[in-house]
Structure 1
Amino acid sequence: MAEVLNQYNEDSIKSLDWREHIRLRPGMYIGKLGDGSSMDDGIYILLKEVIDNCIDEYTMGFGKRVELKIIDGKVTIRDFGRGIPLGKVVDVVSKINTGAKYDSKAFQKSVGLNGVGTKAVNALSSTFRVEAFREGRSKAAEFERGILTNDHKEKDTTENNGTLVTFTPDDTIFKHYHFIHEYVENQIWNYCFLNAGLQINFNGRNFISKNGLLDLLQRKTNPEELRYPIIHLKGNDIELAITHTSDYGEDLYSFVNGQHTTQGGTHQAAFREAYVKVIRDFFKKDYDAADVRQSICAAVSVRVQEPVFESQTKTKLGSQIVWENGPSMKSFVLDFMAKELDNFLHKNPAVADSLKKRIEQSERERKELSGIRKLANERAKKANLHNKKLRDCRIHLNSEPPAKNKEDYQQRQLESTIFITEGDSASGSITKSRNVESQAVFSLRGKPLNCYGLTKKVVYENEEFNLLQHALNIEEGLEGLRYNNIVIATDADVDGMHIRLLIMTFFLQFFPDLVKNGHVYILETPLFRVRNKQKTIYCYTDEERQRAIAELGNKPEITRFKGLGEISPEEFAQFIGDDMRKDPVLLSQDAQIQKLLEYYMGKNTPARQSFIIDNLRVEKDLAEELAEAAAKN
């Protein structure tokens, strides 16, 4: 037997074609898969790869409009650029390392996956169709899971030049996938902000920006909370927008060649360092860097020739230079800011004065906290040695990937998750059924403190908040965040909902960037188990329960789960694995955090009382509705 297992010959060597390799190892090409509940899930990467090609055409001066439709999971994208050369339509979407981006004259600063993007979309779609329109002629090709099924002949057309791509993500790879339109709209706005004048039509709604990153910051901030008008600076291959708000933390948006680098990189680090230096030099004071950057909201966009990224999905820039034989990223950003930002502050003394007051306010707050912060951190370090609240995992978002199998490790980093739960029974079930490689559990002792309206002092005074802050590693900002997904897992009863609100209040009050950057979720667990001797169906809604009863028939056994602790670890493993359902905590673009918290977590206002009375429903009401529906059937 051992002899058979140890055989190593010609039959042991397998050569996969391009589509087989992409389908076998999708993480190498698009990061994690997911079901669409996270903004970095694979279906949004597929969308991005096709749109990136449209943007490249726009930046080359061809086609000012892109049309996008997403209906029932099917995506249609039409640009009005030059169109793929007709003789290369099949090759461009089905042969690795085929594309114009290898010709630096045609695409100096492109954003796509350099010969891989549309091939990955093709291979990972159940159906994929591409059609090019070029000088009165068109050519189309159709594929299923990367296999060519129909190679149409060229024909005459009256269509304007451009390319039309239609695809449906493969639901055997992206299980239970669904597009969240808020995520898609956020992607679209980023494209528009970075390409002023570009028009994108999404399901009939037009998106366009005239002022670039200025529009982005106006959309991301509340004008009433700004300490001074947004500073907007533009130069060759660089654009900046800067302001300060009243929120805690740093809110930074960084982009390279139109790509949103959600994990930052050399350009973001250069901006953070350069901003502090310019401010210190302008005011001739050695301010603490944390005070200068506290409450900053900024966006930085750079154009780089042949950028080097630290992952295939391009979420973190690794380039140290801007263009061949050009300046380092650090000196490029510093030289620009040292001139332009310094000039702006000299010309706008009122803005400079407001900025100075904001920095000095942060300095006072930090000094007030310094004593209690030191004691709290010492307690936290001791607690971390035997921290019973945290059952940690092995892979973290901020870990340094190993040299070997780097792509696989980076994909698992994106899957890193911490469940925040309450009670020994619930945390026990999750702890026993979790994936110890990438899933951690933090247990609450009971209902956390309502911290609405409190200062950050409470984060250090409250042992539970302080330990949670340390578990997440967010005291100094999001750059050290240890988990990509923060999942609140509470019972679906009144107490569970209250705990959920209190945790979200903690994040929104002190670490709003976690929510704004799409890291916070609510865990969905089944409300019912419907089963007979042959089959078990878990139901998340009453509608699913009714369908399960109809499917199983003959009076199946129905169990109502009232708490997470009632679900056995064996069952729980199904609900936090590959098919885990989680709802993202989303903030609308015009949401004003303090007003939102005041409404839901402040004193009982008449407006909230009226809302509760108008929307209150009890189980008896639901039971009566279900009985009526059953009688009609």
Structure 2
Amino acid sequence: MSKQGKNKYYGNDSITSLKGADRVRLRPSVIFGSDGIEGCQHSVFEILSNSIDEAREGFGNVIEVSRFKDNSVMVKDYGRGIPLDYNEKEGRYNWELVFCELYAGGKYKNNSGENYEFSLGLNGLGSCATQYSSEYMDVTVFRDGYKYELHFEKGENIGGLIKQKEDYESTGTIIKWKPDLEVFTDINIPLEYYTNTLKKQAVVNAGLKFILYDEESGQTFEYCYENGIVDYVKEVSQDKAFTGIQFYETSTKGRDREDKPEYKVKMQIAFCFCNEINLIEYYHNSSFLEYGGAPDKAVKNAFVYEIDKCIRARGKYNKDEAKITFQDIQDSLILVSNSFSTITSYENQTKKSITNKFIQEAMTEFLKQQLEVYFIENKIESDRIIEQILVNKRSRETAERTRINIKKKLSGNIDMSNRVKKFVDCRTKDVNRREIYIVEGDSALGSCKLARDAEFQAIIPVRGKILNCLKADYESIFKSEIIVDLLKVLGCGVEIKTKHNKEFNTFDINNLRWSKIIICTDADVDGFQIRTLILAMLYRLVPTLIYEGKVFIAESPLFEITTKDKTYFAYSDREKNEIIAKIKGKYTIQRSKGLGENDPEMMWQTTMNPETRKLIKVMPDDIENTEKMFDILLGDNLPGRKSFIEENGYRYLDMVDVY
């Protein structure tokens, strides 16, 4: 039964179809993959790709792109110029076919063969779809001794084709348009999109120069790689590769299935091995394949097959050792593949992955052959590659074991069955109030325990100097009972990074049990060192807690100044002098004792009472500088440490515990 108020009629005239510009304007995500900024970016790429196709056919070697403040865009090329005049065969003007007709263009087979052998533009959708999705579009073409002009507004042509005789230096096409906010939810394409895209296109179109003018910043950018992907791999490696750059190139023909048409394929692959940098990028018909598809499968299959074969042949596996994975290779690989085909099966119009079966098979076989020869003819270099890949593999396996071990150690609640030695909890369960004091030794634990407010202040002692976590490996770190206990008490897991930036993350700040983590150590050299080592541990294993402002240092007073009526506490020499200057009459000064020797009332007043204590929030003003200083002072950077001490040591002479 129909519900009251609903339209009950559903007949033959209920079915409608979108016509003209509405096919794109009302459904942009069908063509561009999205109606947001990504879809808008893709509409720009469609116009750019037409100019690239023309240049790649040998017509024009410069493409200029302008990004304007009002979000309009201009692409100018020096190709043959789009044919816009009357088309006898189609019985219509070419400008209508190119800019007002989906599935029309110069990239289909016609009686005279193929205009574009390896085309980036696909299916005749680009120019028309971008025009339909624009607030306005102006087209200027120079060819055949004429200047042709077109103007469109919101998918409609205004004024027809204007054609006039013109003297010009070069043929070419200029298209200026503004994406329409009625079509896309966002048209403010960031400068970074243009710089990234044009750089990538320069990489895979050797010798083609891209010039980008940005009106907003006033900057001009130029991208050109004379030797294409070889130059790019060299740039990415920053001369840190431990092998030379290999470059393979071939052409072939084939079909995806017996009943499918035959097509041509060209492929280029450049790679080298590098410990510090790794990158893999795939391009097809100049389009960056974010998700890879066929080339990605080919590279993975060929590299794993040939390198595993080589390891076995040279007896480099340990007994019963598992086979390498592509991850182990990728950790030290810089590779760029650049392929072209006359027929391409993209996963969708956004061209982020290709599915051609023949391309995958042809590239796999070609790479296997080349790698086999490379490994045989370059034994020293290939031995180096094998050794590094096995190091990566064993490091990955150790990291995985460590991760599982950590998860076991840190899982579970702090209760009677999972006790942390000498940890003293507080009563409240309100995380916004709970504070954990990390104190130095058992004696400090005793005085802090007596001094604290047991409602919201918990305590855990650190027994002696803990491991320097910036120099130790993860296996050593997690053998330390003190560190594991601290992490259990914090409750938020750890942030672990392996050598090649792959994270095994158990960290979740929502599981942190405390609003404040307060490091409380003696005001002497040993206390400062313990404090620094605790900070280094937090920085290495849970850096987010520092960046989120959860870590504090409790300042202990350096001096106790006593008069007949009152006791003062000074936290520095300057503060001591200021207090003394104000005192009338007699006083005594005592250098502050260790925390464990302080009476509870003094501890509460100076270190634990939120009203009177002094806490320093640990916050990295500059992450890069923080990393650099930790590395210099506590890491493996010995030359840097030596230089720092030579240049700055005099500032800390009064703190040196030498007599």
What range is the shorter-chain TM-score in?
0.5 to 0.7
Q: Determine the structure 1 residue equivalent to 2:288.
A: 260
2:324 and 2:390 in contact (8 A); partners too? no
Selected match of 1:148 from 123, 146, 157: 157
Equivalent residue of 2:159, what SS?
strand
* Distance in structure 2 (CA, Å) of the matches to 1:257 and 1:602: 43
* Distance in structure 1 (CA, Å) of the matches to 2:248 and 2:73: 36
Q: Determine the structure 2 residue equivalent to 1:89.
A: 95
Equivalent residue of 2:177, what SS?
strand
Amino acid at match of 1:155: Q
Amino acid at match of 2:339: V
2:47 and 2:127 in contact (8 A); partners too? yes
CA gap of 1:380–1:318, structure 2 versus 1, over 3 A, is farther
Q: Determine the structure 1 residue equivalent to 2:381.
A: 351
Equivalent residue of 1:273, what SS?
helix
Identity %: 22
CA gap of 1:336–1:152, structure 2 versus 1, over 3 A, is same
TM-superposed CA distance for 1:453, in Å, is 7.7
* Distance in structure 1 (CA, Å) of the matches to 2:117 and 2:478: 48
TM-superposed CA distance for 1:81, in Å, is 1.4
CA gap of 1:465–1:50, structure 2 versus 1, over 3 A, is farther
1:45 and 1:313 in contact (8 A); partners too? yes
* Distance in structure 2 (CA, Å) of the matches to 1:151 and 1:200: 31
TM-superposed CA distance for 1:337, in Å, is 1.4
Q: Determine the structure 1 residue equivalent to 2:137.
A: 128
CA gap of 1:6–1:453, structure 2 versus 1, over 3 A, is farther
CA gap of 1:127–1:344, structure 2 versus 1, over 3 A, is same
- Which structure features the higher share of helix residues? 1
CA gap of 1:379–1:151, structure 2 versus 1, over 3 A, is farther
TM-superposed CA distance for 1:70, in Å, is 1.1
Q: Determine the structure 2 residue equivalent to 1:76.
A: 74
Matched, 1:219 2:249: no
Q: Determine the structure 1 residue equivalent to 2:347.
A: 310
Cα deviation code 1:227-275 (max 9, x no counterpart): 3333332223111122333358x63211111110101112111111111
TM-superposed CA distance for 1:505, in Å, is 9.8
The Cα RMSD (Å) is 4.0
Selected match of 1:116 from 122, 125, 133: 125
Q: Determine the structure 2 residue equivalent to 1:162.
A: 172
* Distance in structure 1 (CA, Å) of the matches to 2:187 and 2:99: 23
- 1:80-479 matches, within 5 Å, as 80-87=78-85, 88-103=94-109, 105-159=114-168, 160-175=170-185, 177-203=187-213, 204-224=220-240, 226-236=241-251, 237-246=266-275, 251-285=279-313, 287-289=323-325, 290-322=327-359, 329-330=360-361, 332-375=362-405
Q: Determine the structure 1 residue equivalent to 2:580.
A: none
Q: Determine the structure 2 residue equivalent to 1:514.
A: none
1:86 and 1:138 in contact (8 A); partners too? no
Cα deviation code 1:126-173 (max 9, x no counterpart): 111112221211222111121112323221122322211111111334
CA gap of 1:313–1:154, structure 2 versus 1, over 3 A, is same
Amino acid at match of 1:76: M
* Distance in structure 2 (CA, Å) of the matches to 1:503 and 1:14: 63
Cα deviation code 1:464-505 (max 9, x no counterpart): 567999xxxx8799xxxxxxxxxx9xxxxxx9xxxxxx9999
Matched, 1:64 2:79: no
CA gap of 1:176–1:258, structure 2 versus 1, over 3 A, is closer
TM-superposed CA distance for 1:298, in Å, is 1.5
Equivalent residue of 2:140, what SS?
strand
Equivalent residue of 1:300, what SS?
strand
2:495 and 2:541 in contact (8 A); partners too? no
CA gap of 1:177–1:379, structure 2 versus 1, over 3 A, is farther
Gaps of 5+ in 1: 36-40, 323-328, 384-422, 426-449, 478-487, 489-494, 496-501, 510-595, 608-633
Equivalent residue of 1:192, what SS?
helix
Cα deviation code 1:388-426 (max 9, x no counterpart): xxxxxxxxxxxxxxxxxxxxxxxxxxxxxxxxxxx999x
CA gap of 1:93–1:598, structure 2 versus 1, over 3 A, is same
Q: Determine the structure 1 residue equivalent to 2:261.
A: none
Equivalent residue of 2:302, what SS?
helix
Amino acid at match of 1:43: C
Selected match of 1:5 from 2, 7, 13: 7
TM-superposed CA distance for 1:340, in Å, is 2.1
Work out which structure has the larger RCO, using CA pairs closer than 8 Å and 6 or more positions apart in sequence: 1
Cα deviation code 1:427-467 (max 9, x no counterpart): xxxxxxxxxxxxxxxxxxxxxxx998886779999885679
TM-superposed CA distance for 1:18, in Å, is 3.4
Gaps of 5+ in 2: 86-93, 214-219, 252-265, 318-322, 414-429, 433-467, 511-516, 518-536, 545-621, 634-639, 641-659
2:402 and 2:474 in contact (8 A); partners too? no
Equivalent residue of 2:357, what SS?
coil
* Distance in structure 1 (CA, Å) of the matches to 2:478 and 2:344: 40
Equivalent residue of 1:101, what SS?
coil
1:190 and 1:216 in contact (8 A); partners too? no
1:67 and 1:77 in contact (8 A); partners too? yes
Q: Determine the structure 2 residue equivalent to 1:577.
A: none
* Distance in structure 1 (CA, Å) of the matches to 2:235 and 2:474: 26
TM-superposed CA distance for 1:61, in Å, is 1.9
Equivalent residue of 1:102, what SS?
coil
Equivalent residue of 2:193, what SS?
helix
* Distance in structure 2 (CA, Å) of the matches to 1:78 and 1:174: 24
Amino acid at match of 1:47: V
Equivalent residue of 1:171, what SS?
coil
1:63 and 1:81 in contact (8 A); partners too? yes
* Distance in structure 2 (CA, Å) of the matches to 1:128 and 1:507: 52
TM-superposed CA distance for 1:122, in Å, is 0.9
TM-superposed CA distance for 1:217, in Å, is 2.2
TM-superposed CA distance for 1:362, in Å, is 1.0
* Distance in structure 1 (CA, Å) of the matches to 2:381 and 2:300: 19
Give the number of the structure whose alpha-carbon radius of gyration is greater.
2
* Distance in structure 1 (CA, Å) of the matches to 2:474 and 2:190: 33
Matched, 1:14 2:16: yes
Q: Determine the structure 1 residue equivalent to 2:254.
A: none
CA gap of 1:196–1:464, structure 2 versus 1, over 3 A, is farther
1:89 and 1:130 in contact (8 A); partners too? no
Deviates more, 1:259-268 or 1:230-239: 230-239
* Distance in structure 2 (CA, Å) of the matches to 1:380 and 1:90: 67
1:126 and 1:169 in contact (8 A); partners too? yes
1:452 and 1:506 in contact (8 A); partners too? no
Matched, 1:52 2:49: yes
1:97 and 1:116 in contact (8 A); partners too? yes
TM-superposed CA distance for 1:118, in Å, is 1.2
Deviates more, 1:163-172 or 1:370-379: 370-379
